[in-house]
Amino acid sequence: MKGFFMQLLWGALIAYCIILVVMFLAQRNLLYPAGRETPRLTDHALPDMEAVETEPEAGLRLTHWFHPPASPEQPVILYFHGNAGHRGDRVPKMRPLIDAGFGLLITGYRGYGGNPGNPSEAGLRADARSVHDWLLEAGYDSGQIVIFGESLGTAVSVALASERPPAALILEAPPSSIADVAAAHYWYLPVRLLIRDPWDSLARIGSISVPLFLMHGERDHIVPVRFGRKLYEAANEPKQAIFHDDAMHTDLLDYGDVVEAVIAFIRDKAVLRAQP
C-alpha cells in the first residue's frame, strides 16, 4: 500500500512539473492572444481616419490608425487596447471621443492586426514610445496628448506615462500588475517565479503626477476590481475614479454616464492645457 501511494505521489509531482514547464513556455501565447487578421479602415465609415506607420526597431514597421482632432487646440487620445483583438475592434468604443472632437491614435502592437513581430513587455513598450514619437513629429505637443489604456493596455500606458508625462492618463479596467492577476487565476502555480512579463503598474504609478481617471467594473471577473482599487489607492493626486456597479471587463464605455465622465475629464484636464 505504501508503494502505491508513493507511486501516486511521484506521478502527481511529475504531472505538476509538466504543467509548470508547459505554462512557462506558453505564457506569452496566453498573455497575448493577438488578433492576427488585418483590419480594414473602410469598415468604419471614418473618411478622415488614416493608416500611419512607425518603426520601433530596425526592420519592424507597424501600422496604426489615426484620426485628427476637429481643431488644433483639441487633445489627441493615444490609445492602447487590451491583450485580445486588434486596433479595428476598438474603433466603435472610441467613436464617441472622435465625435467629441478629439484626435485619436489607436496603437497597432507588434504581432497584432497584421503587424509583424512577437509581443512582449519590452516590445510593446518600444511600440508605445514609437507612436508617442510619431505624434510629436506630427506637431502635437505632449501637453495635448491624453494616454488612454484598456486592460493590458493600461500597463502599457502607465509605463509610457512614467517616462513621458502626458496631459492626462485614463485607465480602463487596470490590473495592479499582470503578475497579481495571473496569481489570482492560477493560484496553484508559482506565477511570480515563472512570469516573464510582470507588467508592474503598481511599481510605476507613484512616479506619475498628471491627472488620472480610472474606471473599473465591479462585476469584472477577468481583472477583478480589487486590483483596480489597489492601483488607484497608490496613485498620486489629482485623481478620480468610477467603480461601476453593473459593468464587467470590456463594457464600461457602453454606459452613457461613463462616456460623459470621460469626455468631461478630457475637456477639463487636456483641452485647456492644449490652448496657447
Q: What is the pTM of this model?
A: 0.93
CB contact set of 112 (below 8 Å; sequence gap of 6+): 32, 34, 35, 36, 85, 86, 87, 119
Q: Are residues 6 and 82 in the same domain?
A: no
Whether pLDDT at 205 is above 70: yes
In a domain, 259, yes or no: yes
Range of the domain at 12: 1-31
Q: How many domains does the chain have?
A: 2
Look at residue 106 and tell me if it is in a domain: yes
CATH of the domain at 182: 3.40.50.1820
- Using the predicted structure, report yes or no on whether residue 33 has a pLDDT greater than 90: no
Confidence bin at 46 (pLDDT 50/70/90): confident
The pLDDT of residue 190 is above 90: no
The sheet with strand 239-244 has its strands ordered as 50-57, 60-67, 103-106, 76-80, 145-150, 168-172, 212-217, 239-244
